[in-house]
Amino acid sequence: MKFGTKAIHAGIEPDPSTGAVMTPIYQTSTYAQESPGVHHGYEYARTQNPTRSVLEKNLAALENGQFAICFSSGLAAMDSVIRLFQPGEEVIASNDLYGGSYRQLTKVHGRYGIKSLFVDMTNPAAVATHFTPQTRLLWIETPTNPMLNIVDIQALCSLARQHGIITCVDNTFASPYLQNPLDLGADLVLHSATKYIGGHSDVVHGAVITNDEGMATQLRFLQNAVGAVPGPQDCFLLLRGIKTLHLRVERACQNAVKIADFLRQHPKVKHVYYPGFADHPGHEVAKRQMRLFGAMVSFTLHTDTLEFATHMLANTHLFTLAESLGGVESLIGHPATMTHASIPREERLKVGLTDSLTRLSVGIEDVDDLIADLAQALEKLPA
Ligand SMILES: *Cc1c(COP(=O)(O)O)cnc(C)c1O
C-alpha cells in the first residue's frame, strides 16, 4: 500500500461489535470479564484500549514498522525510550535539539545516572569519534530545530550499528510522510504526534515505532508500568487527523518553498534557513532521505536585533505568534525568547541562533495570503 492509502486504511476495520466505519472512542476504564481471567483481550484501559490499539497499528504502518507504542506526549514517549538503558550508560544527542528533549536528558535522566553528550551530528564520522564503550544510544533529530540542519540518518545509523549502539530518530519535524528512518537503518522512531501527525493543534501525544520485537516488548511494559498513556478521545482525534496527513504535509511543503523564495529575495531579510535550497549544506542528504523538504523555514533580519524581531512579530496577523508546529494554521516563533530562551546567548550565537532568528511553521492556508502577511510585517520595519 502507498502512503495515502495507509493513512486512511492501515489497521482500520469496521468496529467488530457494531460495524461502525469510523473507529469508536472506547471511553471506558475497565472491561467486563465472563469469569475470572476470561475476557476479550481487554482488562484495564491503562494496559489496553481498542481506540489506542487501532491508532498503534496505523502509526506502525505509516513508519513501515511492525510495532507502535503510544504515549500521552512526545516527551513521555522519549522517557520510556531512555528507560531502556541503565545508569552508567551514555546517550549521544544532537547539539541542535528540541529544548524539552535536552531538559529531560540533562535534568531528569542525568539524576539517575544516564549520561548525555551533545554533539554536532551533521558530520557522521565526527560523531563516531565520541563513541565510548558506555555509549548505548544515539538520539538523532533531523531536520534540526530551529536551524534546520540535516543529519544523514543512513550514514549515522550504519556507524552506530557497527559499534552495537542503538539509534532513535525524532522524526517530528519531517513527519512520516516525508521521512521513514526505519527504512534508513534506525532502530527506533519517535514522534511528537502533537505536531504534523495530529495536525490540528488540538492534541498532545507521542509514539515510538520499531521493528525490534524485544524493544517493543520492553516499551509496551513501560507504557503500562509507568502509565503515561493517551486517552481514547485523543487517539480518535489523531486517527482523524492522520487521514489527511499526506495532503496537509504536501500542501504545507509547497507553501514553504514559495515562502522561502519570497523571504530570500526580500531586502530586509539577511539569511533564510531552508533545506530545499540547492545551496543548503544538507540539501543533497535531504534530497536522498526526505520526500519533500518540509514546511519549517527559519530566517534572520538584516538588522539582527531583538528589537527588530519583536517589531515584526507584533505585526503578522495570519502567522500566529505561538510555540509548536505542524498544524493546518501557520505559526511564527522567536526561538531566542521562546523555545530556546534557556540557552545562554553566547551558546546560541555559536550555532547561528541570533537575536532576530524567526521560525515559521508554514500551514496550509492560501500561500498568497501568507506571503502578503509576511510582506506587510517586513514593510513596517524601520529601514
Ligand atoms: C514538540 C516536540 C517534542 C515533544 O513532544 P510533546 O508532544 O510536546 O511532549 C519532541 N521533539 C520535537 C522535535 C518536538 O517538536
Per-residue confidence (pLDDT) for residue 95, from 0 to 100? 87
Q: How confident is the model at residue 77 (pLDDT cuts 50, 70, 90)?
A: very high
pLDDT in tens, 328-350: 999 999 999 998 887 789 888 98
Do 280 and 171 lie in one domain? The reply is no
Q: What's 353's domain CATH number?
A: 3.90.1150.10
- Domain extent for 232: 3-242
- Work out the number of other CB atoms within 10 angstroms of the CB of residue 262: 19
Do 202 and 326 lie in one domain? The reply is no
pLDDT in tens, 161-201: 999 999 999 999 999 999 999 999 999 999 999 999 999 99
Per-residue confidence (pLDDT) for residue 5, from 0 to 100? 98
| 146 upstream amide cis, omega within 30 of 0 | yes
* Pocket around ligand 1 at a 6 A CB cut-off: 73-75, 98, 100-101, 141, 145, 170, 172-173, 192, 194-195, 204, 206
For ligand 1, pick from 97, 195, 238, 324 the residue to mutate: most ligand atoms within 8 Å of CB: 195
pLDDT in tens, 9-25: 999 999 999 999 999 99
Is 150 in contact with 275 (CB distance < 8 Å)? yes
- pLDDT over threshold 80, residue 210: yes
DSSP 74-103: HHHHHHHHHTTS-TT-EEEEESS--HHHHH
DSSP 238-289: HHHHHTTHHHHHHHHHHHHHHHHHHHHT-TTEEEEE-TTSTTSTTHHHHHHH
Task: At 302, list the grid cell.
Answer: 538584516
Per-residue confidence (pLDDT) for residue 341, from 0 to 100? 85
Is 304 in contact with 311 (CB distance < 8 Å)? no
Do 313 and 326 lie in one domain? The reply is yes
- pLDDT over threshold 90, residue 311: yes
Number of helices (H), then strands (E), in the chain: 13, 12
CA 376 to ligand 1 center in whole angstroms: 31
Do 255 and 346 lie in one domain? The reply is yes
Active site residues: 46, 98, 170, 195
Closest atom of ligand 1 to 78 CA is 10
Q: How many domains does the chain have?
A: 2
Do 196 and 177 lie in one domain? The reply is yes
Closest CA to 15 of 27, 26, 24, 5: 24
Closest atom of ligand 1 to 77 CA is 9
Share of the chain above pLDDT 90, in %: 94
Closest atom of ligand 1 to 172 CA is 13
Do 60 and 116 lie in one domain? The reply is yes
- pLDDT over threshold 80, residue 32: yes
Do 236 and 262 lie in one domain? The reply is no
88, burial (CB in 10 Å: exposed 0-12, middle 13-18, buried 19+): exposed
Task: Say what the pTM is.
Answer: 0.97
Do 238 and 250 lie in one domain? The reply is no
Q: What's 181's domain CATH number?
A: 3.40.640.10
Euclidean distance between CA atoms 293 and 306, whole angstroms: 28
Name the domain boundary from 222, 242, 262: 242
- pLDDT over threshold 90, residue 97: no
- Work out the number of other CB atoms within 10 angstroms of the CB of residue 310: 14
Do 44 and 117 lie in one domain? The reply is yes
Average pLDDT of the segment spanning 17-39:
95
Contacts of 237 (CB under 8 A, 6+ apart): 198, 200, 202, 203
Do 200 and 257 lie in one domain? The reply is no
Name the domain boundary from 194, 214, 242: 242
Per-residue confidence (pLDDT) for residue 351, from 0 to 100? 87
For ligand 1, pick from 140, 151, 171, 172 the residue to mutate: most ligand atoms within 8 Å of CB: 172
- Per the prediction, the chain carries an average pLDDT of 96
Per-residue confidence (pLDDT) for residue 383, from 0 to 100? 80
Which amino acid, residue 304?
A: D
pLDDT in tens, 276-296: 999 999 999 999 999 999 999
- pLDDT over threshold 90, residue 248: yes
Euclidean distance between CA atoms 346 and 352, whole angstroms: 10
Per-residue confidence (pLDDT) for residue 99, from 0 to 100? 86
